[in-house]
């Protein structure tokens, strides 16, 4: 039996097992963990042992392999998922694991949300609303393109799982979907106020402006990080490449007015070249997309800060170097993400073009 087969078959027989936060001293534990660090060490007497740091979404814990060091050490590497059997014990007032068995687990079979933070909003409900926006696009070219893209199971699954950032905003599983729905809803609101705008273009761009992030980030194992193409190319250009693949598959003209405009909005949505925009916004819809994208990102960032200060009992944040200021967040209601009521409002609105304004959160 080769290693890959062993990994997959073993995973089929188990669930997550224990979470790190639930481990108590003197327990015999079993569970699925990610190896964030692996060190080859020696005791004072020169005997080899292995030190590991194991993580899941609830925290991290140190582990040691004292017996069968070569045999167990050979089956896994740093960054791997492993199924561990171990005895928990106190060492210098800290709980750690004495590992008695390690088995490798195929990373493709692991649910990332077991090891990374997840959007607080039901992703299935978000997806329903997302697809309602897609179906509401009446432009022939834009509608055909987006229906082809999100009718692709692999792309849709990646879009539902991907984070929107490594650190700054919506930096969790499902964050890209949550952010994209929020931006699309803001686009609806703005088009209700400025009715001369191209609603189809602005909403379509709101839905796909960050589509390249499905390839920009690695999120199958902690921590969320950039892929090589994410660092070298960036999500705006990666997004255009994804669009081009589906344009060719649907025999759509990439020179059509609506497609060119959509590409412009994607390429310019960061607003300034020093912020990563290959071109500056040169259309009304492009200016608006930049502003509402930035608005939603910052509100999410402030929401995370608000959670931190609510747990500490303070009204003021720590100094935020990025914004060059403190924030006072002690008086307003606690953010909850996109609420179920908001989503029902979106689902009940018919047609979506007639929506004048909705809450984001």
Boundaries of every domain in the chain: 3-109, 113-354
Share of the chain above pLDDT 70, in %: 87
The two most distant CA atoms of the chain are separated, in Å, by 79
Instruction: Give the pLDDT band of residue 3 (cuts 50, 70, 90).
Output: very low
DSSP 310-338: HHHT-SBPPPBTTTTB--B-SSSPPP-SS
- Assess contact for 94 and 152: CB atoms under 8 A: no
Handedness of CA 115, 116, 122, 125 (dihedral sign): negative
Kindly indicate the confidence band of residue 347, based on its pLDDT and cuts at 50, 70 and 90.
very low
Contact 290, 271 (CB under 8 A): yes
For range 242-248, the mean pLDDT: 94
- Residue 4: closest CA among 81, 112, 110, 105: 105
Residue 261 confidence (pLDDT) above 90: yes
Helix (H) or strand (E) holding 348: helix 340-348
Q: 333: burial class by Cβ within 10 Å (0-12, 13-18, 19+)? A: exposed
Q: What are the pLDDT digits (tens) for 301-343? A: 999 898 878 766 678 888 999 899 999 987 655 445 554 455 4
Residue 354 has pLDDT above 50, yes or no: no
Token reading at 59: 């925290």
CATH of domain 3-109: 2.40.50.140
Stated pTM of the model: 0.80
Instruction: Say what the pLDDT of residue 220 is.
Output: 86
């Amino acid at each position: 039996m080769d290693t890959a087969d062993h990994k997959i078959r073993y995973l089929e027989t188990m669930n997550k097992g224990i979470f790190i936060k639930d481990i108590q001293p003197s327990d015999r534990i079993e569970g699925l963990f990610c190896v964030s660090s692996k060190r080859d060490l020696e005791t004072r007497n020169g005997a080899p042992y292995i030190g590991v740091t194991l993580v899941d979404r609830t925290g991290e814990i140190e582990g040691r392999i004292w017996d069968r060091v070569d045999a167990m050490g050979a089956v896994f590497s740093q960054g791997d998922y492993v199924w561990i059997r171990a005895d928990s014990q106190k060492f210098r007032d800290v709980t750690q694991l004495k590992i008695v068995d390690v088995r490798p687990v195929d990373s493709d079979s692991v649910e990332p949300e077991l090891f990374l933070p997840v959007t607080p909003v039901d992703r299935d409900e978000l997806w329903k609303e997302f697809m309602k926006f897609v179906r509401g696009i009446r432009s022939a070219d834009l509608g055909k393109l987006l229906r082809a893209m999100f009718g692709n199971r692999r792309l849709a699954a990646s879009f539902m799982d991907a984070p929107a950032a490594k650190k700054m905003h919506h930096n969790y599983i499902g964050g890209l979907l949550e952010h994209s729905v929020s931006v699309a809803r803001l686009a609806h609101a703005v088009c209700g106020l400025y009715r001369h705008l191209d609603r189809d273009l602005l909403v379509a761009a709101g839905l796909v402006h960050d589509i390249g992030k499905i390839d920009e980030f690695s999120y199958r194992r902690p921590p969320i990080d950039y892929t090589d193409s994410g660092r070298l190319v960036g999500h705006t250009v990666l997004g255009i490449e994804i669009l081009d693949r589906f344009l060719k598959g649907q025999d759509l003209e990439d020179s059509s007015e609506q497609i060119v405009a959509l590409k412009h909005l994607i390429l310019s949505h960061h607003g300034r070249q020093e912020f990563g925009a290959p071109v500056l916004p040169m259309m009304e819809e492009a200016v608006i997309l930049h502003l509402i994208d930035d608005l939603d990102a910052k509100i999410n960032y402030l929401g995370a800060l608000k959670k931190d200060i609510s747990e500490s009992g303070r009204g003021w944040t720590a100094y935020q170097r990025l914004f060059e200021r403190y924030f006072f967040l002690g008086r307003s209601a606690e953010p909850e993400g996109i609420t179920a009521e908001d989503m029902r409002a979106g689902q009940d609105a018919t047609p979506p073009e007639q929506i004048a304004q909705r809450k984001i959160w």
